[in-house]
Amino acid sequence: MNNYKDYVNHSKRITDINMSMAILGWDQETKMPKNGSKFRAQQLSTLAEISHELSTKKDFGILLNNLNSDNSLNSDQRRNISLSLKAFNKSKKYKSEFIVEESNLVSNAFQQWRLAKEKNDFSIFESSLTKLVDLRIKECEILGYVNHPYDALLDQYEPGLTTNEVDDIFSNVKEFLVPFIKRILRSNKIDDSFFYKKYSNNKQWDFGIELLKKMDYNFDSGRQDLSAHPFSTHFSPEDTRVTTRIDENNLSEMIWSCIHEGGHALYEQGILSENYGLPLGETISLGIHESQSRLWENNVGRSLEFWKHNYESLKKIFPKQLTGVTVDDFYKASNNVKPSLIRTNADELTYHLHVIIRYEIEKALIEGKIKVADLAKIWNLKYYEYLGLEVPSDTLGVLQDIHWSHGSFGYFPTYTIGSFYAAQFFNQAKIDNPNLIKEIENGNNKNLLNWLRKNIHNSGKRLDAHKLCEKITGEKLNFKYFKDYVIDKYSKIYAL
Amino acid sequence: MNNYKDYVNHSKRITDINMSMAILGWDQETKMPKNGSKFRAQQLSTLAEISHELSTKKDFGILLNNLNSDNSLNSDQRRNISLSLKAFNKSKKYKSEFIVEESNLVSNAFQQWRLAKEKNDFSIFESSLTKLVDLRIKECEILGYVNHPYDALLDQYEPGLTTNEVDDIFSNVKEFLVPFIKRILRSNKIDDSFFYKKYSNNKQWDFGIELLKKMDYNFDSGRQDLSAHPFSTHFSPEDTRVTTRIDENNLSEMIWSCIHEGGHALYEQGILSENYGLPLGETISLGIHESQSRLWENNVGRSLEFWKHNYESLKKIFPKQLTGVTVDDFYKASNNVKPSLIRTNADELTYHLHVIIRYEIEKALIEGKIKVADLAKIWNLKYYEYLGLEVPSDTLGVLQDIHWSHGSFGYFPTYTIGSFYAAQFFNQAKIDNPNLIKEIENGNNKNLLNWLRKNIHNSGKRLDAHKLCEKITGEKLNFKYFKDYVIDKYSKIYAL
């Protein structure tokens, strides 16, 4: 390996392995028969190990260091090299044994979590989770950090984001949201009972596909399947998939999970194929990724204008269930603010309290201030404190999310950060295109997608998240945009 | 690497990669959106290269050679080492460049073949196929052979089988089958027109699933999907999948392709999980594999007894289409001998003439006696000579099979060999269990499956194909068993 071309080839090889893992993962969640899990875990672990071996190859490191001081490269090439070198130096910190241990722990934890959730018994998951937390604490030391060990975990998902910054943001969020939600809860009630009638599986499925098509999700480069937990994944910009789940007694779950995952997938479909295997062929961060899903789900998909266009076709599919429900009723119901137990079903305001609870727990776990054994108790206390709810069971409480069973800590905050980026980007998109809202009302989302493609998707990792935000909106991430959006929207809905 | 345990671990790693490739391949044929093919080809090529690197690792070779003279190993361990060493020495003959070239050629050839078939124009496929044939000719030299270059290709699929042996067998086949088929064609005609009524997609699908369940195919360790070409594949004994295709205007296609692929899958489900990654955890050869699919498809699935049990439930699903069709009519129709253009739809007698045509063409291509450019012409001449048919188009002629586009040469003869093994094994199973036919008539296939498990499936590669055959039946592969089966069965059906 001695030139930029060799770098590109090696980098593509690593990506090929990572994408193969993603394919095995997609299959595992959507198609794999139940007895397949043991060998699948082993196959994934082997691929992870090989990916790590390739990512930390000595020759590759030498090449990256050489190219990093090669002035003949253009700025895109320099950006690729700089990010790959950063990733190399990070990967080098992990021993192969860590990768294998992690892979095995996660496979095992996932099984235990599933069982625990099924049996409604957190204690089944406790030992696996304790091991995973210990592993992450060890990982913080391996990776290193300046101020707080949790910084090392945040950095995996949102490069550069620190615990201090999250603390700052979340204190603003609480300061605004907690009283604002209280005001809403004291005002008029919204009737969303029609969402919980019986909506047939097949018809919901068809409407979900229709929604994805309306968003210009390209089915020649993707597909939708069912899974226990909706997700999106990609194997290249030409093969970017989404999943959904359908509850026959809850129409809203399918609708906004389809739009949400569709938003993620549109980001991946907007990555340039020519950059496959390179940092410029990757999305920036989970926060920016989430900004795309949230922008479609909330700023677009929970707007009155979007439903002015789409409500009629929904009503055609479910005329009986939606008898007497106007588009305005539907719009209000889809923005009904109501503290609830399950994060993924939460409205776009209380949602962030769910995230804050998880963040506070994770931080305390990593600091060693609380024990996994006490997690269910702590969880329930916080749900009472922030949302005023009694948690009736572990399944509806501490066991609800898949993330910890995957060993993902430091991930949750990006959901909230993403929503704030979404508000800020969407505000800018409206400034850049004053017809945007009118277009959405006419069922034309193409210009919005083009704006996202041009400003965000196509450039991959060319800029860091905060620089991208500055470039597009003229300033860093600013909670104000979310706050203004929320005040404006909900004051009208609830006549505050 | 310095002991048997290290050998097992490395061997499992190689298998993990190969199984990952199988998962990517399954997805490609069943689920992948159409734009996904370019990057998928690249991902598969990278995995192939890594599998080859691992398979030819110097340390691994040294370890295998050391263990090969280690007398402390038990006989199973020695068998594993001996076969792995043979595979290692074979892999070593290939340079990485060959593997990559092959992978790229195959991806490209597959696209060209698909296009050519769609456009009914062999010339589109000609250049890719020429390159693949040249690659295989080169490969014969790389691998080496004693008598005939084609031996090297046969050995890939049916270890030890030679061109001379195939010539011998096929001359027996022709000598018997050609006049026997002529006698049948001169006798009474069978009415199979009811197969070509309209049979709805969904109902056919359901019946296919029912058939697989009747065979004791385990859906907890497998699944069925649709694909353009039915196939079976496995990622471990715990995840062994089948595919089928459904033609609404031809019921027979789905039925016997389901049973056929089910037979393959039962073999893989019968491999012992504890031997995953080792030769004892692999099936013996394509011929033995095909013996399992053919035994279920023909010896069981086209028997009167099988349908005495299953016909009623089929008739319940399609009462209108099968009005007036007795189980005897159904049995005869499913054994209707009629020369036809498409191999996969052929009856179990003319089928072998399709195979012989392909064998003769492949042999001549590898010998350099004919050119790819003349293939359509040669194909059509042979179809006239052996089956008395005019081939109306390339799509229904030389382009019908997927095999050459995958670069598979030397594969077709195993279909015929497999049918003969099937007849010989089934004959023995009936001797070992005189109630077998009665059990099948009662819908009980468990003892048959147990017999196959015990005698064939569970032992993996413990014995070579011909030794296995001797062990089970007391003699080597003998065409007599197929011939006797055919004479007995068809003399009754056609009152010869």
Q: Is B198 exposed, middle or buried (0-12, 13-18, 19+ CB in 10 A)?
A: exposed
Q: By mean pLDDT, which of A192-206, B92-106, B152-166 is the weakest? A: B92-106
Phi/psi-derived region of residue A95, left when phi > 0, alpha when psi is between -120 and 50, beta in every other case? beta
Interface of A with B in 414-443 (CB under 8 A): none
Residues 126-165 on A with a CB inside 8 Å of B are: none
* B contacts of A33 (beta carbons < 8 Å): 219-223, 238-239
- Nearest CA to CA, how far is A50 from chain B (Å)? 9
| Count of CB atoms situated within 10 Å of the CB of A3 | 11
Residue B410 token pair: 């030397």
By CA distance, what is B53's nearest residue in A? A50
Backbone φ, ψ for residue B236 (5° rounding): 175, 170
Rounded to whole angstroms, the Cα distance separating A32 from B19 reads: 14
Q: Measured between alpha carbons, how far is B27 from A24 in angstroms, rounded to an integer?
A: 10
Q: Is the pLDDT of residue A104 over 90?
A: no
* Strand residue runs (E) in A156-286: 224-226, 232-236, 239-244
> Which positions in chain B touch A223 (Cβ < 8 Å)?
31, 33
CA distance B220 to chain A (A): 5
Least confident piece of the model among A100-109, A123-132, B244-253: A100-109
Domain end among A92, A113, A148: A148
Q: What are the backbone dihedrals phi and psi of residue A385, each rounded to the nearest 5 degrees, phi first? A: -65, -50
Same domain, B360 and B396: yes
CA A217 to chain B, closest CA, distance in angstroms equals: 13
- CATH number at A302 reads 1.10.1370.30
* Mean pLDDT over each residue of chain B, to the nearest integer: 97
pLDDT for res A107: 86
Distances (CA, A) of A116 to A40, A110, A357, A453: 21, 10, 21, 42
Q: What pLDDT band is residue A428 in, cutting at 50, 70 and 90?
A: very high
B495 φ, ψ to 5°?
Answer: 50, 50
Assign A488 a pLDDT band (cuts: 50, 70, 90): very high
Let me know whether B345 and B432 are in one domain: yes
The pLDDT of A457-486, averaged and rounded, is 97
> How far is the C-alpha of A240 from the C-alpha of A254, rounded, in Å?
19
Q: Which tokens go with A450? A: 């083009």
For A153, the token pair is 């975990």
Note whether B113 and B418 are within 8 A (CB).
no
| Strands B232-236, B224-226: pairing kind | unpaired
**Is residue A291 domain-resident?**
yes
The whole-angstrom distance between B264's CA and the closest CA on chain A is 17
Q: How confident is the model at residue B485 (pLDDT cuts 50, 70, 90)?
A: very high
Residue B147, burial from CB neighbour count under 10 angstroms (0-12, 13-18, 19+): exposed
The residue segments making up the domain with residue B344 are 163-494
Instruction: Tell me the β-bridge partners of B236.
Output: B239
Closest by CA to B486, choosing from B335, B287, B385, is B335
Helix pair angle (A4-30, A58-68), 10° resolution:
120
Closest Cβ opposite residue A16 in set B19, B31, B42:
B42
Residue B104 is predicted with a pLDDT of 87
Rounded Cα–Cα distance for residues B30 and B35 (Å): 14
Domain membership of residue A316 (yes or no) is yes
Together in a domain, A320 and A376: yes
Q: Is residue A155 part of a domain?
A: no
Mean pLDDT of B458-478: 97
pLDDT-based confidence at residue B129 (cuts at 50, 70, 90): very high
Q: Which residue has the tokens 């204008």?
A: A305
Smallest Cβ distance to B16: which of A31, A42, A221?
A: A42
- Assess contact for A488 and A303: CB atoms under 8 A: no
- Interatomic CA distance for residues B387 and A479, integer angstroms: 78
Residues B14 and B98 in one domain: yes
For residues B276 and B386, membership in a common domain is answered with yes
Are B50 and B102 in a shared domain?
Answer: yes
Residue A81 placed within a domain: yes
Q: In this complex, which of B32, B35, B46 lies closest to A13 when CB atoms are compared?
A: B46
- State residue A230's pLDDT score: 94
DSSP for A435-488, please give it: THHHHHHTT--HHHHHHHHHHTGGGTTSS-HHHHHHHHHSSS--HHHHHHHHHH
pLDDT-derived band at B275 (thresholds 50, 70, 90) equals very high
Q: How many domains does chain B have?
A: 2
Note whether A259 and A340 are same-domain residues.
yes
What are the chain B neighbours of A97 within 8 Å (beta carbons)? none
Q: Give the tens place of pLDDT for each residue, B59-100.
A: 999 999 999 999 999 999 999 999 999 999 999 999 989 988
- Mutation site, A43, A209, A221, A273, interface B, largest B CB count within 10 A: A43
Q: Between B38, B39, B236, which is nearest A39 by CB?
A: B236
Mean pLDDT of B464-487: 97
Residue B410 backbone phi and psi in degrees, to 5: 100, 0
At residue B243, what are phi and psi to the nearest 5 degrees?
A: -130, 160
Pairing of strands A239-244, A224-226: parallel
Q: Which of chain A's residues have a Cβ under 8 Å away from the Cβ of B43? A: 16, 19-20, 23, 235
> Cα separation of A324 and A340, whole Å?
26
Residue-wise pLDDT for A249-277, tens only, equals 999 999 999 999 999 999 999 999 999 99
Residues B142 and B279 in one domain: no
> What is the secondary structure of A250-274 as a DSSP string?
BHHHHHHHHHHHHHHHHHHHTS-GG
Q: Is the minimum CB–CB distance between A324 and chain B shorter than 8 Å?
A: no
- Looking at residue A486, its pLDDT comes to 98
State the residue for tokens 């050995």.
B155
Q: Which of the following is catalytic: A139, A253, A261, A362?
A: A261
B13/A46 touch (CB, cutoff 8 Å), yes or no: yes
pLDDT at B96: 87
Task: State whether B275 and B295 are in the same domain.
Answer: yes
Q: Which of residues 91-130 of B touch A (CB under 8 A)?
A: none
* Angstrom distances, CA of residue A3 to CA of A66, A144, B100, B290, B307: 9, 31, 21, 49, 67
Are residues A132 and A207 part of one domain? no
Cβ contacts of B476 within 8 Å, gap of 6 or more: B466, B469, B470
- Secondary structure of residue A244 in the 3-state scheme: strand
User: Are both A175 and A41 inside the same structural domain?
Assistant: no
Catalytic residues of B: 261
B 211-230 residues with CB < 8 A to A: 218-223, 225
Q: Please name the residues in contact with B408: beta carbons below 8 A apart, sequence gap of 6 or more.
A: none
Per residue, what are the HEC states of A273-339? HHHCCCHHHCCCCHHHHHHHHHHHHHHHCCCHHHHHHHHHHHHHHCCCCCCCCCHHHHHHHCCCCCC
B40 vs A contacts (CB less than 8 Å): 235-236, 239
In this prediction, residue A462 carries a pLDDT of 98
Contacts of A45 in chain B (CB under 8 A): 16
Percent of chain A with pLDDT over 70: 100
Single residue among A114, A148, A182 that ends a domain in this structure: A148
Which pLDDT score is estimated for A356?
A: 98
Give dist(CA A74, CA B367) in Å, integer: 52
Please indicate, yes or no, if residue A362 is contained in any of the structural domains.
Answer: yes
Q: What is the pTM of this model?
A: 0.96
- From A47, A241, A276, residue closest to B39, measured CB to CB: A276
* Per-residue pLDDT at B166: 97
Chains A & B: contacts with CB separation below 8 Å: 112
Residues A142 and A168 in one domain: no
In a domain, A158, yes or no: no
Structure tokens at A396: 């509806």
Contact (CB<8Å) A43/B223: no
Q: Are A229 and A245 in contact (CB under 8 A)?
A: yes
Q: How many angstroms away from the CA of B35 is the closest CA of chain A?
A: 5
Instruction: Classify residue A85: in a domain, yes or no.
Output: yes
Using CB atoms within 10 A of its CB, is residue A434 exposed (0-12), middle (13-18) or buried (19+)?
Answer: exposed
User: Amino acid identity of B444?
Assistant: N
Q: Do A36 and B12 touch (CB under 8 A)?
A: no
CA distance B285 to B158: 5
Q: Where are the beta strands (DSSP E) in B228-341?
A: 232-236, 239-244
Alpha-carbon B426 to chain mean position? 18
Give the end of a domain, one of B155, B175, B199: B155
Instruction: At B33, give phi and psi (nearest 5°).
Output: -65, 155
Q: Do A17 and B47 touch (CB under 8 A)?
A: yes
Of A24, A50, A235, the CB nearest to B36: A235
Which ipTM value was assigned to this complex?
Answer: 0.95
**Tokens 């038990």 -> residue:** B74
Helices (H), B69-222: 75-92, 96-119, 122-143, 149-157, 163-186, 201-214
What local confidence, expressed as pLDDT, does residue A100 receive? 87
Whether the CB of B38 is below 8 Å from some CB of chain A: the reply is yes
Instruction: Kindly give, in sequence order, each residue whose CB lies less than 8 Å from that of residue A69, ignoring residues fewer than 6 positions away.
Output: none
